[in-house]
Amino acid sequence: MFGVAVMSGVLYVAEINRQRAEAGKPLLEAVLVGACVQLRPRLILVVVAMLGMVPAAFARGIGSDIQRPLATVVLGGLISTLLLTLLAMPCLYYLAHRRRRRADF
């Protein structure tokens, strides 16, 4: 889960920086466009990982008493990673960049 979260964050920041450098867009527009461009790949990545864990989360056979709690935690982590990456990452980038720009003056 940590790897998925870090990869998502790095790709968001890279896309926003690319939007600002190549297209010369202002900060807010670059953040919005970068978040929209990265929305589908992040959704696909997390949903596929979640679908892979669903059978383990609902297993009832031998060994499921150990596998089910782990799969449940991983599913919860993937859901929170998805929400934080889609909502919080662009907002935090915008706020951090605005604050850094203000500190430069």
Nearest CA to 94 out of 41, 40, 33 is that of 33
Instruction: Please return the burial class of 1, using the count of CB atoms within 10 Å of its CB with bins 0-12, 13-18 and 19+.
Output: middle
Residue of 79, 86, 101 lying closest to 20 (CA atoms)? 101
pLDDT for residue 82 is more than 80: yes
Task: Tell whether the model's pLDDT for residue 29 goes beyond 90.
Answer: yes
**The pLDDT of residue 23:** 83
Q: Where are the domains of the chain?
A: 2-104
pLDDT tens-digit series, residues 31-53: 999 999 988 988 898 889 889 88
- pLDDT by residue (tens digit) across 14-26? 999 999 998 888 9
Sign of CA dihedral 5, 10, 16, 22: negative
Q: How far apart are CA 78 and CA 58, in angstroms?
A: 16
pLDDT reading at 103 higher than 70 = no
Q: What is the mean pLDDT of residues 55-80?
A: 87
CATH entry, 2-104, from 3.30.930.10, 3.40.50.150, 3.40.50.11890, 1.20.1640.10: 1.20.1640.10
pTM: 0.74
When the pLDDT of each residue in the chain is averaged and rounded to a whole number, the result is 86
